[in-house]
């Protein structure tokens, strides 16, 4: 069964550094999403992306964050200057345009 993959599984970075989290969507999916889950909290929507542009973003998704699909396969989330409070599990999800979204295993980001 096709699945969403994410790399790396765990990223440790120092405050102020840039990180790029990568996602490979399911091959016929055209809708892409990022969510995050801070330890002990809910899974929160960050951004949705379709046709090479952002469809919707949450108030969490400020100017420090950006997304792109650089090569037609990977879907990336960049955090320009990480803060301690960015430490979380980041989940990529993809879909065909229906209501269901299919999640990757997540990247654990630890900012020290």
Partner 1 sequence: DQQVKQNSPSLSVQEGRISILNCDYTNSMFDYFLWYKKYPAEGPTFLISISSIKDKNEDGRFTVFLNKSAKHLSLHIVPSQPGDSAVYFCAGNAGGTSYGKLTFGQGTILTVHP
Q: Quick one: 17 or 37, whose CB is closer to partner 1?
A: 37
- CA-CA distance, 112 to 76, in Å (whole number)? 22
Min. distance of Cβ 93 from partner 1 in angstroms?
8
Q: Quick one: 82 or 101, whose CB is closer to partner 1?
A: 101
Output the CA–CA distances (angstroms, integers) from residue 46 to 1, 59, 112, in the order listed: 26, 8, 22
Q: Quick one: 4 or 19, whose CB is closer to partner 1?
A: 4
Min. distance of Cβ 72 from partner 1 in angstroms?
20
Binding site for partner 1 (CB under 8 A): 4, 6, 31, 33, 35, 41-45, 48, 50, 55-56, 58, 91, 93, 95, 99-106
Q: For every residue of 70-105, which 3-state class applies, written as one string?
A: CCCCCEEEEECCCCHHHCEEEEEEEECCCCCCEECC
Query: How many C-beta atoms lie closer than 10 Å to residue 100's C-beta?
Result: 8
Q: Quick one: 17 or 74, whose CB is closer to partner 1?
A: 74
Min. distance of Cβ 43 from partner 1 in angstroms?
4
Q: Residue 76 is encoded by which pair of tokens?
A: 């990336």
Min. distance of Cβ 95 from partner 1 in angstroms?
7
């Amino acid at each position: 069964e096709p699945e969403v993959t994410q790399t790396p599984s765990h990223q440790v970075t120092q405050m102020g550094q840039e990180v790029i989290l990568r996602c490979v969507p399911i091959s016929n999916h055209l809708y892409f999403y990022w969510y995050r889950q801070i330890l002990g909290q809910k899974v929160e929507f960050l951004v949705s992306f379709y046709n090479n542009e952002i469809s919707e973003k949450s108030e969490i998704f400020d100017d420090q964050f950006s997304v792109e699909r650089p090569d037609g396969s990977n879907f990336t989330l960049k955090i320009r200057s990480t803060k301690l409070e960015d430490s979380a599990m980041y989940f990529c999800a993809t879909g065909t345009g229906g209501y269901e979204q299919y999640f990757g295993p997540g990247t654990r980001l630890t900012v020290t």
